[in-house]
Structure 1
């Protein structure tokens, strides 16, 4: 067989049976999968559509069908591709796949992923609803279509052409010139630098005529019009294949609709029309952005109320708050909350007899300053209220102590009530996040903490203790 011609046909596929077929992972023999690869010369599948037939049920509803079409089938295609089954169409010269409303986004992958076409000269994909030029890297075209001379992508929905030229050196000598037809698409702007590249590619011709050009006042348009009006360039031989650019018509804005590009110049773009539109739109855009930011801020503040409040306290956003207490109103510079199992280290750092660095500060520690006769809870509350800061010696032992956690909760509560930067966290060791309470996680996210092993431990602690002094 040399010619296979199928036209104006609608294939109806039972989706349930098709899924069953995919699940079985049937491996087709090559002579079935590749058909007549050694003899076929012309393949026409024109105006051919594929419709999946299914009855909506609990297992096949519309959302599930979309999932099948967008996820399951492409994955199945990929799995087939891993079988490394390749068809080598040695004599195939023409493929016509035009006029299709059901062309899959993965169709080009199927076309090139399974087959090689060493003699293919014409590939027609017009009227297929294609939204972007398939195979962005043109090296792939030269690998799969080594002798391709005509690629028809006209009457599709392609919107840009820039990336066509990024990955292939068209100055390299090619055996054939590739003619690519992307006319009658949805390309609204042509960049001058792209045209300048195209005229220097002797083995590539790109026909982008009959596209709806937007002639609004933009830098891209002004640059293009300077090129269009450069008569010296258009008299050169290499520019002549692209003379159609001069006769391309504006589609937008309305006051330029139907005007040829050669009739315009960067000076008479009448940018004031566009600027009037901008002046009208600016307040609307500003108001919309303001409302959007306001809504996002409300959502953020609602969700992260405590974190924001602690940050405000930390950076003294509200300096007039009652929380900025004077030193003389407090008895201690800091109440030190720690586990009894960390006592040796705490005493070595905070007791005046052991530390010369912190001698100017007065610390409240439960083994020295708790008042006999009062309950532990009363002593904790009283100590926190009489101190400008509460230093949390955070360790795994601390987390395991109910009294330590009560000390933290009271200090955390007072920070919020007094709007003061009350808490100072000293991290004794690495602690798994799962061991931390929600409040502790909030503090570690929003407050600077000091690691026990920090080489600048004392200077950072002194700086933290000196805050809120007046």
Structure 2
């Protein structure tokens, strides 16, 4: 077990408990180890150190339990909550002041221990009460969370009641200013939300009037779906090629996957122009680094041009990194997130692929009619 065991730590197997113990407690660590023994069932103890960030490491995919209590952690990588093999995370006695909504993935027999903490909350975080009730049914005392609101602190387990009581007062207060702000708000919406207004208007027309003209502009193209994503990111590339493309093609979609379908040695920009034009709809995998490549920028601009000029075409967006609209610079992509026309990568009912297929089919009537 000495192979890849961190410096100044002890590593040993316990076959009777089907685990490999990594004891790095009180070892003066400032960050998570880069590597650990390549074994399943890792039980990691990194308590009583000076670690400030709980970020993703590949060995976490083989970890069953990790103790990070008594550190200085302020931020937890949201992707960690989606690692299904981890059954317990101990984050007691740290500096955590925010909890990401991905923590909801820890349910049933899986537990996260935050201890007694105070976090910044809003009434959009009512989900935290449901999650806490689920966690406390199995082990009380792990999480005593206080929500900090602008005017008072509230126990997170009672956030539903607090927000229900506060809503009438807010409604009356804002109603007094409504008549004075109508012109200002309308002008503000026009100047700053034109893409949101466009998407909502287009969706309304498609839903209620599309059936009257859905046969006029139907032009069969080479591909049903064009996939646009950051091909340089290994994790995104692996998920798209092995999961998304496989499921779409298995269900009858003709998919344009640029790394596979572009001609090797050809001019990439020309092929982007050609194949975007030759596709009926577009599936965009929105990640934090989606528009950092010049080719993705060109690709996205072409997708938007054809989306606007051809009413039957649709854009389906998967929010791969669960980005908040405030973290998105492109105003068009920001609009998709703001109006709720995206699919979160970690949708909690495990129906993402089914939802994508339904969304693509209902938005492209000529795909529905292929089997007729």
Query: How does the TM-score come out when normalised to structure 1?
Result: 0.33
| Structure with bigger gyration radius | 1
